[in-house]
């Protein structure tokens, strides 16, 4: 089981894009869950935060294989995955994704 968290800087003025993406995922929940199952993802959570005047997203994932999940998502025709790829292009600052180091992982 792989566990990751990452911090992603958002482009200035992308708040409406973030809201549109969130609403799309919410309104296509069953397709999103289908995609996660295909990717071998057990948990995917997203948080928004603001640090030093910049907006960020924090992503947490638990998957059978993070590498496999990313490969499946990249090749997926699922509309949720297509929207997520578009969101990354529109709202993320390229190269800003900060990987984190797992310190403690407790799961029963």
CA angle at 24 for the pair 56 and 70, rounded to the nearest 5°: 65
Task: Please give the domain boundaries of the chain with CATH numbers for all domains.
Answer: 2-98 (3.30.70.100)
pLDDT band, very low/low/confident/very high, at 62 (cuts 50, 70, 90): very high
Could you read off the pLDDT of 18-59 as tens digits, one per residue?
Answer: 999 999 999 999 999 999 999 999 999 999 999 999 999 999
Could you read off the pLDDT of 64-100 as tens digits, one per residue?
Answer: 999 999 999 999 999 999 999 999 999 999 988 888 9
Nearest to 10 by CA among 95, 84, 88, 92: 92
Nearest to 92 by CA among 66, 62, 54, 61: 54
pLDDT band, very low/low/confident/very high, at 60 (cuts 50, 70, 90): very high
Nearest to 59 by CA among 71, 47, 43: 47
């Amino acid at each position: 089981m792989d566990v990751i968290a990452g911090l992603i800087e958002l482009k200035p003025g992308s708040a409406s894009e973030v809201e549109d993406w969130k609403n799309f995922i919410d309104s296509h929940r069953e397709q999103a869950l289908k995609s996660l199952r295909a990717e071998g993802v057990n948990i995917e959570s997203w948080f928004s935060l603001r640090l030093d005047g910049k907006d960020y997203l924090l992503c947490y994932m638990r998957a059978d294989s993070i590498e496999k999940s990313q490969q499946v998502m990249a090749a997926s025709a699922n509309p949720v995955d297509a929207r997520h790829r578009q969101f990354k292009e529109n709202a993320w600052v390229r190269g800003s994704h900060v990987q984190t180091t797992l310190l403690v992982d407790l799961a029963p």
